[in-house]
Structure 1
Amino acid sequence: MKPFDRIAVLGAGAWGTALALNAARAGRDVVLWGRNADNLESIAHKRQLPAYLPDITFDHPLETTTDLTEAADADCILMVTPAQTTHAIADAIGFYVKKGTPVILAAKGLEKGTQRMMTEVLGDYLPQAQPAILSGPSFAADVARGLPTAVTIAAPTSLLAERICASLSNKSFRPYASTDLIGVQLGGALKNVLAIACGIVVGKQLGASAHAALMTRGFAEMQRLAIKLGARPDTLMGLSGFGDVALSCSSPQSRNFSFGHALGEGRDLADLMGPGAKLSEGAYTASVACELARQHGVEMPIAEAVADVLERKSSIDEAVTQLMTRPLRRESDQP
């Protein structure tokens, strides 16, 4: 299967730079777009990105640009920008993207205000593109260092998903193909909310038992909503569902877990979401997930608790009490 030759990566943060390096390792011709000229200079000439990937020297040179239109002229585009800016980036490159170009979305979130998944956003602004999703248990630093990583890549057809996998696969990066666009992107988005909850539990020192229970019950409510919205159950048990939960809900390398951990320790929410703070996609997704759950008649008490804390409707202690005193029920719907 012929891989895509020219790959543009939009977003020169930690994850975008790591994915650009990975594509270069796979033998692709890569251009990395970003806004910060100093960071791009460091990437291109020093093979380093101290602001996001400290203590890592890249094993491949990368071509960089601040010209978004130049980057859009590629055989395949990896869009590695925050979920809440996806519409703006897609709109900016809309005129320059050729019909049929695959655009692989790497953001794990839902659009605040519209409740749209990233593929729905892309469809509005880049209808000529072929949407795809890259998601799974992966930290940028691990990928940048060339450590073994496996992810899921979903596209509308098996052929396209497999071709993208072939374009990004190398000895340290193993992508698995899927056609479940809904399941792959919802798994990534919803686990971020659960990771915040797990971080709060650990930061608050509520114990390993509470952490395990929260992960389990949170994963169950993730499945309920995702399946209701059209996800396949087997996808949610795979890398982009359970795999991502296992990683993000237990490691301080996870931005969402670290965000929750800081909240649990008593850090002020305004500081954690202020200028210069690390992005926590789950902080924006929590309320959107709850809105979708209510619309579709799905109970998501853990997501609701996270949203209430983030919206200052309840304290962490009050949220924990509410969860622990909910009416008793069976663990599953089976008799």
Structure 2
Amino acid sequence: MTRRVQRLAVLGAGSWGTAFAKVLGDAGREVILWARRPEVAASINERHINRDYMAGIVLPPTITATTDPAEALDGVDAVVFGVPSQTLRENLAGWRDLLPRDATLVSLAKGVELGTLKRMSEVIVEVADVPPEQVAVVSGPNLAREIAAEEPSATVIACIDHDRAVALQHAITAGYFKAYTNTDVIGCELAGAGKNVIALACGMAAGLGYGDNTRATLITRGLAEMSRLGVALGADPLTFAGLAGLGDLVATCSSPLSRNRTFGERLGRGETLAQAEEANHGQVAEGVKSCLSICELGRRHGVELPISDAVRRVCHEGLSAADMGKELITRAPRPE
């Protein structure tokens, strides 16, 4: 019998955490949204608006906010982690003792942890000391603003435990938002992390003035290297042809709402990493950090990742975006 998920905590009131909480609320669930800053929680509770991250979007009354993690986690059926990938471990260490024993733990983050090279589900398993089948991940074309505006969208819920995935699927199905299930957690997570790096490359190409042929080439060849890495780590290659793979890759590489694409575009126009970060309100795009972890994973498993490695060298070794383009286009010809 499928378990029921009615009450959920969303830890992290940024753009995606807020949009995901709205989906849950619109699907008829009771949602407790944890915010780090009191003014964000107050705005949500008093005006049903997250002015800092989702201005203009009215949140359903079934969402309440708090700055107290103990209050947020009290009696919930599932816990959704909406914090950036590189801060998940630190945050989770503070929440670990408050987590309900059998609650499904859900990651919204798309990245690979620096240093350990662990996927987010692996970080949760390690820090929370739970079995892998208790952890699920959300992946797919998840542009937060479009979802919050109730534009038709779909996503993937990946979990080793199919019943948990189905329970979450029912919990997040709203009139404008559809969820599919998958048991390939490895593939969904690597696709979610890898697409951010390829989106940086597409942004750089746009900043250099290149058009649709270049973007299509980067998307297609980027998908190939993401798939190669995924298969080497045990993923199902078909996952990369679905929403978590191609779907998320196309959206992130093409949309002006994509932080990674717009960040890459600034680099393509000649801005430094620090200048692009300043223009991005002090935030570094996830792909800037993930490219280091992904390239190291490729090195350890003997997988060639030419686009990801080129992005890594632009972000961290001073290679110019223009020289990156020349290097990629002059690589030795080979069969596709």
TM-score (norm 1): 0.95
Partner residue, 1:32? 33
- CA–CA distance in structure 1, aligned partners of residues 3 and 176 of structure 2: 20
For residues 170 and 3 of structure 1, do their structure 2 counterparts lie closer, same or farther at Cα, with a shift above 3 Å needed?
farther
Farther off after superposition, 163-172 or 302-311? 163-172
1:77, distance to aligned residue in structure 2 (A):
0.5
Partner residue, 1:234? 238
Are residues 1:294 and 2:296 paired?
no
What is the Cα-based RMSD across aligned positions, in Å? 1.5
1:59, distance to aligned residue in structure 2 (A):
4.2
- CA–CA distance in structure 2, aligned partners of residues 38 and 140 of structure 1: 21
Partner residue, 1:5? 6
After TM superposition, list the pairs within 5 Å mapping 1:114-133 onto structure 2: 114-128=116-130, 130-133=134-137
User: Match for 1:309 among 306, 314, 321?
Assistant: 314
1:279, distance to aligned residue in structure 2 (A):
4.3
Which letter maps to 2:289? Y
Deviations 1:142-176 (A, max 9, x none): 22122211000011111111011111112111110
Identity of aligned residues (%): 38
- CA–CA distance in structure 2, aligned partners of residues 62 and 127 of structure 1: 29
Kept in 2, the 8 Å contact 1:168–1:175? The answer is yes
- CA–CA distance in structure 1, aligned partners of residues 130 and 55 of structure 2: 38
Are residues 1:196 and 2:200 paired?
yes
Partner-residue secondary structure (3-state), 2:98 = coil
1:323, distance to aligned residue in structure 2 (A):
1.1
Partner-residue secondary structure (3-state), 1:273 = helix
Kept in 2, the 8 Å contact 1:87–1:125? The answer is yes
- CA–CA distance in structure 1, aligned partners of residues 284 and 32 of structure 2: 24
Partner residue, 1:135? 139
- CA–CA distance in structure 1, aligned partners of residues 323 and 88 of structure 2: 35
Deviations 1:70-119 (A, max 9, x none): 22222101101000011012111111112221110000001011111001
- CA–CA distance in structure 2, aligned partners of residues 308 and 174 of structure 1: 38
Partner residue, 2:329? 324
Farther off after superposition, 229-238 or 39-48? 39-48
Count of residues in correspondence between the two structures = 331
Runs of 4+ residues deviating >4 angstroms:
none
Partner residue, 1:66? 67
Which letter maps to 1:135? S
Which letter maps to 1:255? R
Farther off after superposition, 47-56 or 113-122? 47-56
Partner residue, 1:55? 56
1:133, distance to aligned residue in structure 2 (A):
0.2
Are residues 1:175 and 2:175 paired?
no
* Structure 2 residue ranges without an equivalent (≥5): none
Partner residue, 1:259? 263
- CA–CA distance in structure 2, aligned partners of residues 41 and 329 of structure 1: 58
Partner residue, 1:154? 158
Deviations 1:255-297 (A, max 9, x none): 1111101111222211223593244111110011111101111
- CA–CA distance in structure 2, aligned partners of residues 151 and 27 of structure 1: 18
- CA–CA distance in structure 1, aligned partners of residues 113 and 226 of structure 2: 17
Farther off after superposition, 119-128 or 56-65? 56-65
Kept in 1, the 8 Å contact 2:30–2:62? The answer is no
* Structure 1 residue ranges without an equivalent (≥5): none
1:57, distance to aligned residue in structure 2 (A):
2.6
Are residues 1:163 and 2:164 paired?
no
User: Match for 1:223 among 221, 227, 238?
Assistant: 227
- CA–CA distance in structure 2, aligned partners of residues 61 and 279 of structure 1: 32
1:235, distance to aligned residue in structure 2 (A):
1.1
Partner residue, 2:285? 280
